[in-house]
Structure 1
Amino acid sequence: MFREKMPLWRNFSVWMLCIPSIFWSIFAYADDVKLNKNELKSLYEIAWERQPESKSYQFRVDAALAKQKIASSFLASPASIEIAQKTDRANSNQGASETIAGLGIPLWLWGERANSIGLADAEYKRLLSQYLLIQLKVAAEVRDAYWSYKRSNVELDLANGRFQNAKALSFDVEKRFRAGDLSRADLHQANGALANAEASLAEAQANFINAEQKVRSLLGVGMVEKSIKTGLLNQLAEPIPKVPDNLSSLDFNLPVVAALLDQLEVAKKAVSLAKAQTRSTPELQLLTTRGRDVYGVPFQQSITLGIRIPFGSDSRYQNKLATTTAEMVEAESQLALERERALSNIESSALLVKTARLKADSSEKRAVLANETRSFFEKSFRFGETDLPTRLRIELEASDASRQAAVAKINYAVAISNLRQALGLLPE
């Protein structure tokens, strides 16, 4: 009697060992949010330190500050010294000699210095806002790679759980087929389900490798290996930002709008400077001359004060003015378009967060019900009350529900990240 029921007890023990691991793989992701809260921020900081813009930023700031000092100078350009010597030793040698020493002082045109200071200040402010835009671009790449990795990691775990479950079921069906309890058709169906689960596992492994390579390209080979081995990449969601009802109040707080406003201000200052620069820079000249005509005559010394004024050129003036005006008009149009696009993106991203949350909740409920149903049919199949096709269908539905629930959680976290990206917030 006991020997006859040995295969049944052995199959029951196999199922009891597999079920806890399967359920753990499904519901373990609910506790991921309790792990490293600053993980995405840490990954972003690692990626940002590797960017060329991060390494060159301080030098660009130094250049902008130096340009402000140049614009604030009292001279349009550095002063110049002129020295000349005149003599007749190579010709008649009558003792003629003349020494000239002069100083050239470039002068600002009317309004040129004030407009140059304004342009330098506007360019420095634009540098700061453009720096934040570059940071947000890198943050978008990190977020995309991070959540792709998380999604592929979740799908790989679920595919592995499904494969192990199908393998255990196939092992059980094969033993029962040998015992004469099930037909060869049942065995083929179980093996077909195992092959399907194995193909899904291979596809999940390929997706995981691609996602891992994408993260590797951002963080570097050594950092990715360290992050994976030390258990990083466990966070599931960033903090949900607050979105005001009146989105127009976000105009000056949005980095893309602020950067375009700074760009427009630079264009306006460039137009004002172009209007002031109607000609090349004039130069104040101060010269002293010391010389004599022949030997025996005392040296005479004189001082000359003059100014050099270049002629203006209408074509050069109109070219520069038209170019800067075109840039100003383009900046105004781009500001209007990007402002409307940014506000629309925020509105749609906020709605997607709500819908993703609802989908995640409903998917989780479906997964719980599907797994409870699977446990019911598992018992009935073990006691011969349910046929194998029904058992396989219930198993497939439970696996699909578990996958949808896990992916829905990731999509909810992605929606939050997209909303934060639209608001111009860096990873936290």
Structure 2
Amino acid sequence: MAQAVDAAWQRAVSAAEADGGRERADARRALAGSLLAGAPAIELSHRAGQGDSRESEVATALPLAMPGVRSARQAAGDADVALADAHRRHTRWQIAGQVRDAVWAIEAARADEAQAKAHASTLEQVASDVERRVRAGDLARADHLSARSEALAAQAVHREAALKLADAHRQWTLLTGLAAPASALAGADNGDGNTIESHPALQSASRALEQARRNADLVTATRRDPPELRVGLRQEADGPGTSRTSAGIGVRIPFGADVRNRPRETEAWTAVTLAQRQSDNARLRVEADLAQAKAVLEAAQARVQAEETRDALTRERSQLVRKAFNAGDMGLPDLLRALATASTAQADLARARAALGLAQSRLAHAQGITP
């Protein structure tokens, strides 16, 4: 199962998006450690006066990240990386759910195909026996026609079941790129008693909330524009041989930006409120899905027990009816009905067992377990 999930992950578009998100988060975190609050700028100026007087200046403006701002940026960068990792695990868990459904779709289709094949084989044997007894004069030709008709109908059902199995194989290959799994693979993915705190959906929602909070803290810390350090060189000349060079340093401190940046703060803290609501809703959904998965599993277990009893009863009855038919004590319609009932019970049991395996797998999925 883990190998299949890995293969599906390599083919999924959402996986590539998650990997790209991690790389973007790494880049943002690296930028957050910079001493500068923004991109530096360079200033060039030249002035010419009367005669040979001239003045040239080159200066660099460096927006500085204040200590509180820099720590807020680093915290926001760390939150971005944590969210990207959580989103990647969540995406892989979602892909695992698709793989689980696909493998159990194969199991269900395989069970239907095997049962349809067995029923067609049984009716073919009955038709051959009836044909032999018709030639011996024990049965009427109408019985032979009826038995042959039922055998042909069973063969058609088997062909349809085989087509559904082939389609399930194609869906699996489209998802994973692998050949159809062995039957033993499906039974290896069962739930356990893990808590839901490490559930990928909850972890993703929790990290999204943390990122929103760190972003809001960053907006609050940067409500004022950053100060700028200005370093420059100036060259002045009044004429030939009178050049003078001087260096200068200065600081530009903006003020009065609180009102201008207040909408950004409001938007950031609104995002925190929305992320909190989404986190609460994610927990409710996970708890509801887990409760439903447990209920479905209990129902599937009860259904398997009931279908096993029913299968044993109808199987025994069909054997008795067939013995009576061979002895001439019962007619062909009674035999065909008994065989049809037994076949239906066997098919229902196979579907119930496949449904039980799917329920066990979905419980593991609801618990947040990723193979």
Displacement of 1:337 in angstroms is: 1.4
Instruction: Answer yes or no: is the 8 Å Cα contact 1:251–1:258 preserved in 2.
Output: no
* SS in structure 2 of the partner of residue 252 of structure 1: coil
* SS in structure 2 of the partner of residue 243 of structure 1: coil
Q: Deviations along 1:320-356, whole A, 9 cap, x unmatched?
A: 2233223212111111112112112112212322321
Cα distance in 1 for partners of 2:317, 2:260 equals 82
Q: Which residue of 2 aligns with 1:175?
A: 132
* SS in structure 2 of the partner of residue 98 of structure 1: strand
Q: Which residue of 1 aligns with 2:247?
A: 303
Q: Deviations along 1:68-104, whole A, 9 cap, x unmatched?
A: 222122221343444444456xxx6x33233323222
Displacement of 1:363 in angstroms is: 1.7
Q: What amino acid is the match of 1:424?
A: G
Q: Deviations along 1:190-234, whole A, 9 cap, x unmatched?
A: 2332243133223312322331221121123xx3xxx34xx7344
Instruction: Answer yes or no: is the 8 Å Cα contact 1:75–1:108 preserved in 2.
Output: yes
Q: Which residue of 2 aligns with 1:161?
A: 118
Deviating more after overlay: 306-315 vs 190-199: 306-315
Cα distance in 2 for partners of 1:46, 1:276 equals 45
Q: Which residue of 2 aligns with 1:216?
A: 173
Q: What amino acid is the match of 1:103?
A: T
* SS in structure 1 of the partner of residue 77 of structure 2: helix
Q: Which residue of 2 aligns with 1:284?
A: 229
Q: Which residue of 2 aligns with 1:20?
A: none
Cα distance in 2 for partners of 1:251, 1:56 equals 26
Displacement of 1:135 in angstroms is: 0.3
Q: What amino acid is the match of 1:45?
A: D
Instruction: Answer yes or no: is the 8 Å Cα contact 2:235–2:245 preserved in 1.
Output: yes
Q: Does 1:398 align with 2:342?
A: yes
Structure 2: 5+ residue stretches without partners: none
Structure 1: 5+ residue stretches without partners: 1-39, 245-249
Displacement of 1:62 in angstroms is: 3.9
Cα distance in 1 for partners of 2:197, 2:209 equals 14
Q: Which residue of 1 aligns with 2:201?
A: 256
Q: Which residue of 2 aligns with 1:203?
A: 160
Match of 2:355 among 392, 405, 411: 411
Instruction: Answer yes or no: is the 8 Å Cα contact 2:225–2:257 preserved in 1.
Output: no
Q: Does 1:68 align with 2:12?
A: no
Cα distance in 2 for partners of 1:347, 1:294 equals 90
Deviating more after overlay: 129-138 vs 359-368: 359-368
Cα distance in 2 for partners of 1:316, 1:420 equals 51
Number of positions where the alignment pairs a residue of Structure 1 with one of Structure 2:
371
Instruction: Answer yes or no: is the 8 Å Cα contact 1:95–1:292 preserved in 2.
Output: yes
Q: How does 1:92-171 map to 2 (within 5 A)?
A: 94-108=51-65, 111-171=68-128
Match of 1:235 among 185, 188, 211: 185
Q: Which residue of 2 aligns with 1:35?
A: none
Q: What amino acid is the match of 2:240?
A: Y
Instruction: Answer yes or no: is the 8 Å Cα contact 1:278–1:312 preserved in 2.
Output: no
Inter-CA distance 186–81: structure 2 relative to 1 (3 Å threshold): same
Inter-CA distance 195–314: structure 2 relative to 1 (3 Å threshold): farther
Q: Does 1:267 align with 2:212?
A: yes
Deviating more after overlay: 393-402 vs 104-113: 104-113
Q: Which residue of 2 aligns with 1:28?
A: none
Q: TM-score, normalised by structure 2?
A: 0.90
Cα distance in 1 for partners of 2:186, 2:57 equals 79
Q: What amino acid is the match of 1:258?
A: Q
Cα distance in 1 for partners of 2:256, 2:153 equals 81
Inter-CA distance 312–159: structure 2 relative to 1 (3 Å threshold): farther
Instruction: Answer yes or no: is the 8 Å Cα contact 1:109–1:277 preserved in 2.
Output: no
Q: Which residue of 2 aligns with 1:330?
A: 274
Cα distance in 1 for partners of 2:106, 2:260 equals 56
Q: Which residue of 2 aligns with 1:19?
A: none
Inter-CA distance 316–171: structure 2 relative to 1 (3 Å threshold): farther
Instruction: Answer yes or no: is the 8 Å Cα contact 2:18–2:84 preserved in 1.
Output: no
Cα distance in 2 for partners of 1:203, 1:408 equals 20
Displacement of 1:58 in angstroms is: 5.2
Q: Which residue of 2 aligns with 1:356?
A: 300
Cα distance in 2 for partners of 1:219, 1:255 equals 21
Q: What amino acid is the match of 2:85?
A: L
Q: TM-score, normalised by structure 1?
A: 0.79
Displacement of 1:241 in angstroms is: 2.8
Q: Does 1:41 align with 2:2?
A: yes
Match of 1:341 among 264, 285, 292: 285
Instruction: Answer yes or no: is the 8 Å Cα contact 2:191–2:365 preserved in 1.
Output: no
Inter-CA distance 52–315: structure 2 relative to 1 (3 Å threshold): farther
RMSD over aligned Cα, in angstroms? 2.5
Cα distance in 2 for partners of 1:360, 1:270 equals 53
Cα distance in 2 for partners of 1:58, 1:133 equals 12
Inter-CA distance 316–382: structure 2 relative to 1 (3 Å threshold): farther
